[in-house]
């Protein structure tokens, strides 16, 4: 039973990897970008417990801005990925150039807000 | 021309001298009128019920007069006794040497009048005797000292009586158990025992303002010397107070003595030898004891005033109307003691200031420069609200100082915080790295393949 479970998981993982290999490069780049953003957010989360403990002088505003910038980046990248995915028929009327322009504009707004909050 | 010039000069001189005269007379009238800054009282009403008392107690009265007091002697049956007229007090102090008079001035001076007099900040010296009247007892008990109920009882002590007297009932007591206080008795020690003949009183336990200045020895008791002691005496031992003082919350001072004789010339000049000791003092301690005590009662000593409360930020001189949390500030106050003639610097190392909002957030002992200036510096706590600088100074024998000065403390304004703080560097780093990542991602996304 246990053996077959490991085997199943391996098979599942292999299928996933092989079908992901077929993914276009531009989507792979977006995925990498999303992973980076999530990873950065997690590192900052670790800071709460590790660096400050329960200290009440913890700079909560700056922490939320740091995490929000990562989350915002990830969300916008995922939106871009949905729009430029060829297999997604929902946005077939939308050109990838238009999608990328939207993405850049949203990012500019996001980072402008974050710069304002930083100090 | 020249004549005219001379004329104007003389006129100017005349007007100048007139001006000087006016100023001088104004100053003179100011200096002779009552000065509220001067706590030593000047006019004293002495009420006595025996016409011979003026001569038999002359040393005490003369010393008061030589210290600048105006004594107004009135017999207790004088109908013209009045402490106040048109709502103003005629006297600054009252000496009640009428132990047996049941009503003063035929009822014109009541218990309430005497207590109102004390309540308005005036001083009182009260002496009783055996057979003290209800009036005297009531005044004393209003002040927190309860005289022995038995009218025939006197304080008797078979161990520390004075042997120089021939009478054998041991009711002439030689006591030297004084309260230890430099401010009440002055710096000089009282060597000789104090002679006392009269009734004892107990200090009301509920009153924290009464102090026993002269208490009886542990072997003393209060009873009628002429009758056999059938039941244990109510007042015994050191709980018997012979002389007590009260300093009221308004700094009025009251002296309560169970003996009128102790003020007399005979006791002042009498030699004293305490039973059991071989040394015979040429002169009793009464004069020194009562002189020093009367100086304290009449505010020649131990009267403090605090002026010039100042505070400012460190390095500034102006007093701000508000402080910010974590400001460094300097606080100073000047404290002077009245010496009977002028204000002298008060020197002590136990004056403290509180920075107070519901409870003291800062409590600091003030340093002083021996010239009356007390100062310290501290940091405003990291709490905002309406604070007070408080100086609460209560010491035995000194008038109490209770000062407070209100000052608000505000938090940082939004632009007073530091712009970038080191603890937040991970979050700055996170934010900037996403921006950099966005830039790199855009290039990669646009130019791949």
What ipTM was predicted for this assembly? Answer: 0.87
Q: Which domain holds residue A31?
A: 24-118
Q: Does A65 contact B431 at a Cβ distance shorter than 8 Å?
A: yes
Closest residue in A to B419 (Cα–Cα): A119
The total number of structural domains in chain A stands at 1
Residues on chain B touching A36 (C-beta within 8 angstroms) = 437
Q: Is A115 exposed, middle or buried (0-12, 13-18, 19+ CB in 10 A)?
A: middle
Q: Is residue B8 part of a domain?
A: no
A33 touching chain B per CB within 8 A: yes
Q: Is residue B22 part of a domain?
A: no
Give the closest-approach CA distance of A62 to chain B in angstroms. 6
Q: Is residue A55 part of a domain?
A: yes
Q: Tell me which of B448 and B325 has the higher pLDDT.
A: B325
**Is 50 exceeded by the pLDDT of residue B376?**
yes
Q: Does B441 contact A40 at a Cβ distance shorter than 8 Å?
A: no
Cα torsion B391, B34, B210, B60 to 10°: value is: 140
**Is 50 exceeded by the pLDDT of residue B367?**
yes
Interface test with B, best of A23, A69, A83 (most B CBs within 10 A): A69
Pick the range with the lowest mean pLDDT from A33-47, B63-77, B156-170, B211-225.
B156-170
Final residue belonging to a domain, choices B255, B282, B297: B297
Domain co-membership, B148 together with B181: yes
Q: Which domain holds residue B311?
A: 303-410
Domain co-membership, B162 together with B265: yes
Domain co-membership, B138 together with B207: yes
Domain co-membership, B95 together with B143: yes
Q: Is residue B271 part of a domain?
A: yes
Q: Tell me which of A57 and B110 has the higher pLDDT.
A: B110
The total number of structural domains in chain B stands at 3
Q: Predicted confidence band at A89 (pLDDT cuts at 50, 70, 90)?
A: confident
Mean pLDDT for chain B overall:
84
Percentage of chain B exceeding pLDDT 90: 24
pLDDT at B105: 78
pLDDT at A83: 92
Q: Tell me which of A47 and B376 has the higher pLDDT.
A: B376
Domain co-membership, B319 together with B246: no
Residues B274-282, mean pLDDT to the nearest whole number: 80
**Is 50 exceeded by the pLDDT of residue B304?**
yes
Interface test with B, best of A32, A37, A76, A80 (most B CBs within 10 A): A37
pLDDT at A48: 61
Q: Predicted confidence band at A2 (pLDDT cuts at 50, 70, 90)?
A: low
B443 touching chain A per CB within 8 A: no
Give the closest-approach CA distance of B435 to chain A in angstroms. 7
Final residue belonging to a domain, choices B278, B297, B316: B297
Q: Does A66 contact B426 at a Cβ distance shorter than 8 Å?
A: yes
pLDDT at A88: 85
Q: Is residue B93 part of a domain?
A: yes
Q: Which whole-number Å values give the CA distances from A35 to A28, A38, B437, B449, in the listed order?
A: 11, 5, 11, 22
Q: Tell me which of A56 and A65 has the higher pLDDT.
A: A65
Mean pLDDT for chain A overall:
85
Q: Does A70 contact B449 at a Cβ distance shorter than 8 Å?
A: no
Residues B359-376, mean pLDDT to the nearest whole number: 92
Q: Is residue B209 part of a domain?
A: yes
Give the closest-approach CA distance of B380 to chain A in angstroms. 18
Domain co-membership, B203 together with B316: no
- Cα(B420)–Cα(A58) distance, integer angstroms: 14
- Cα(B213)–Cα(B193) distance, integer angstroms: 13
**Is 70 exceeded by the pLDDT of residue A68?**
yes
Q: Is residue B14 part of a domain?
A: no
Q: Is B6 exposed, middle or buried (0-12, 13-18, 19+ CB in 10 A)?
A: exposed
Q: Does B426 contact A44 at a Cβ distance shorter than 8 Å?
A: yes
Final residue belonging to a domain, choices B272, B297, B322: B297
Half-sphere exposure of B334 (CA within 13 A, CB side): 8
Percentage of chain B exceeding pLDDT 70: 90
**Is 60 exceeded by the pLDDT of residue B354?**
yes
Domain co-membership, B86 together with B212: yes
Domain co-membership, B87 together with B181: yes
Tell me how many degrees the CA angle A85-A90-A94 measures, rounded to the nearest 5.
70
Residues on chain B touching A111 (C-beta within 8 angstroms) = 434-435, 438
Domain co-membership, B151 together with B46: yes
Q: Does A57 contact B423 at a Cβ distance shorter than 8 Å?
A: yes
Q: Is residue B357 part of a domain?
A: yes
The A residues from 97 to 116 touching B (CB cutoff 8 Å) are 100, 104, 107, 111, 114-115
Q: Is residue A3 part of a domain?
A: no
Domain co-membership, B326 together with B230: no
Domain co-membership, B109 together with B186: yes
Domain co-membership, B153 together with B194: yes
Q: Is residue A87 part of a domain?
A: yes
B390-441 residue pLDDT tens: 999 998 889 889 999 999 999 988 888 777 888 788 888 889 999 999 999 9
Q: Is residue B7 part of a domain?
A: no
B209-256 residue pLDDT tens: 898 999 888 888 888 888 888 888 888 888 889 999 999 888 899 999
pLDDT at B276: 75
Give the closest-approach CA distance of B422 to chain A in angstroms. 10
B9-66 residue pLDDT tens: 555 555 656 555 555 444 443 333 334 466 665 888 998 888 888 888 899 999 988 9
């Amino acid at each position: 039973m246990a053996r077959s479970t490991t085997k199943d998981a391996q098979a599942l993982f292999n299928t996933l990897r092989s079908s992901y290999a077929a993914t276009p490069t531009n989507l792979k780049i977006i995925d990498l970008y999303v992973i980076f953003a999530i990873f950065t957010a997690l590192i900052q989360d670790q800071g709460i417990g590790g660096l400050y403990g329960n200290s009440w002088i913890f700079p909560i505003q700056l922490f939320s801005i740091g995490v929000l910038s990562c989350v915002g980046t990830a969300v916008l990248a995922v939106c871009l990925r949905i729009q430029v995915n060829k297999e997604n028929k929902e946005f077939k009327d939308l050109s990838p150039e238009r999608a990328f322009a939207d993405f850049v504009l949203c990012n500019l707004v996001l980072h402008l807000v974050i710069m304002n909050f930083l100090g | 021309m020249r004549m005219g010039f001379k004329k104007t000069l003389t006129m100017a001189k005349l007007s100048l001298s007139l001006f000087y005269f006016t100023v001088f007379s104004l100053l003179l009238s100011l200096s002779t009128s009552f000065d509220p800054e001067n706590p030593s009282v000047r006019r004293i009403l002495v009420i006595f019920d025996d016409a011979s008392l003026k001569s038999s107690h002359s040393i005490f009265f003369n010393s008061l007069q030589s210290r600048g007091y105006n004594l107004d002697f009135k017999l207790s049956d004088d109908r013209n006794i009045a402490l106040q007229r048109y709502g103003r007090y005629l006297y600054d102090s009252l000496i009640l040497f009428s132990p047996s008079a049941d009503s003063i001035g035929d009822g014109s001076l009541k218990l309430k009048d005497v207590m109102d007099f004390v309540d308005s900040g005036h001083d009182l010296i009260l002496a009783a005797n055996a057979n003290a009247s209800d009036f005297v007892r009531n005044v004393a008990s209003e002040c927190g000292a309860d005289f022995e109920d038995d009218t025939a009882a006197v304080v008797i002590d078979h161990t520390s009586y004075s042997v120089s007297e021939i009478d054998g009932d041991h009711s002439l007591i030689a006591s030297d158990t004084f309260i230890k206080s430099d401010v009440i008795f002055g710096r000089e020690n009282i060597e000789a025992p104090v002679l006392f003949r009269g009734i004892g009183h107990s200090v009301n336990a509920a009153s924290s303002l009464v102090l026993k200045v002269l208490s009886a020895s542990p072997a003393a008791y209060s009873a009628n010397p002429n009758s056999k002691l059938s039941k244990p005496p109510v007042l015994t031992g050191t709980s018997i107070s012979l002389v007590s003082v009260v300093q009221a919350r308004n700094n009025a001072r009251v002296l309560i003595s169970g003996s009128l004789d102790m003020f007399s010339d005979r006791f002042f000049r009498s030699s004293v030898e305490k039973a059991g000791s071989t040394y015979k003092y040429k002169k009793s301690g009464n004069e020194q004891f009562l002189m020093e005590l009367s100086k304290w009662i009449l505010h020649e000593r131990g009267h403090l005033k605090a002026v010039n409360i100042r505070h400012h930020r460190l390095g500034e001189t102006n007093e701000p109307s508000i402080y910010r949390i974590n400001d460094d500030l300097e606080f100073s106050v000047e404290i002077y003691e009245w010496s009977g003639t002028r204000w002298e610097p008060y020197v002590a190392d136990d004056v403290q200031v509180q920075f107070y909002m519901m409870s003291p957030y800062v409590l600091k002992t003030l340093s002083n420069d021996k010239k009356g200036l007390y100062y310290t510096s501290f940091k405003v706590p990291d709490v905002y609200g309406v604070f007070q600088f408080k100086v609460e100074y209560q010491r035995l024998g000194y008038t109490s100082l209770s000062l407070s000065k209100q000052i608000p403390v505000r938090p940082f304004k939004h632009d007073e915080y530091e712009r970038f703080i080191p603890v937040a560097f991970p979050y700055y780093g996170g934010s900037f790295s996403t921006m950099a990542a966005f830039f790199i991602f855009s290039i990669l996304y646009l130019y791949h393949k």
